[in-house]
Amino acid sequence: MSCTAYLHKEAREDIQIAIYWYNKKQKGLGRKFHREFLNLLSSLSKTPYYQVRYDEIHCLPMVKFPYMIHFTYSKKNKLIEIYGVFHTSLNPENFLKRKIK
């Protein structure tokens, strides 16, 4: 089974901010972050069944970076919608304030 993944604007911004921050810390580290995200996205599109944390929001932790991918999954439409890529030290209320469609 393969699903289509859609990144909402806020999730793309989260990723860009993380890449920028990691590149400021160490050259090339942002690229490693992005590569891990893309690898997880690829495996997520094959196996989208991860823990539900908030109502219908699933969370997939990144392995090497302290971030969680927040998404919904529609089995009917075979669609994964990624709403955020949040640092795990942030208050979860910050994510919950986002408007999820």
pLDDT band at 98 (very low <50, low <70, confident <90, very high): confident
Please classify residue 7 by burial: count the beta carbons closer than 10 Å to its beta carbon, then call 0-12 exposed, 13-18 middle and 19+ buried: buried
Residue 74 lies in a domain: yes
Residue 44 lies in a domain: yes
Q: List the CATH number of the domain containing 75.
A: 3.30.2310.20
Residue 8 lies in a domain: yes
Tell me if 43 sits within 8 A of 56, measured CB to CB.
Answer: no
Residue 58 lies in a domain: yes
pLDDT at 68: 94
Helices (H), the chain: 9-25, 29-46, 92-96
Phi, psi of 100 (to 5 degrees): -100, 125
Section 5-29 average pLDDT: 96
pTM, two decimals, is 0.88
Model confidence pLDDT, tens digit, residues 18-62: 999 999 999 999 999 999 999 999 989 888 887 788 788 899 999
Residue 101 lies in a domain: no
Domain count for the chain, please give it: 1
pLDDT at residue 101 greater than cutoff 70: no
Residue range(s) defining the domain that contains residue 29: 4-96
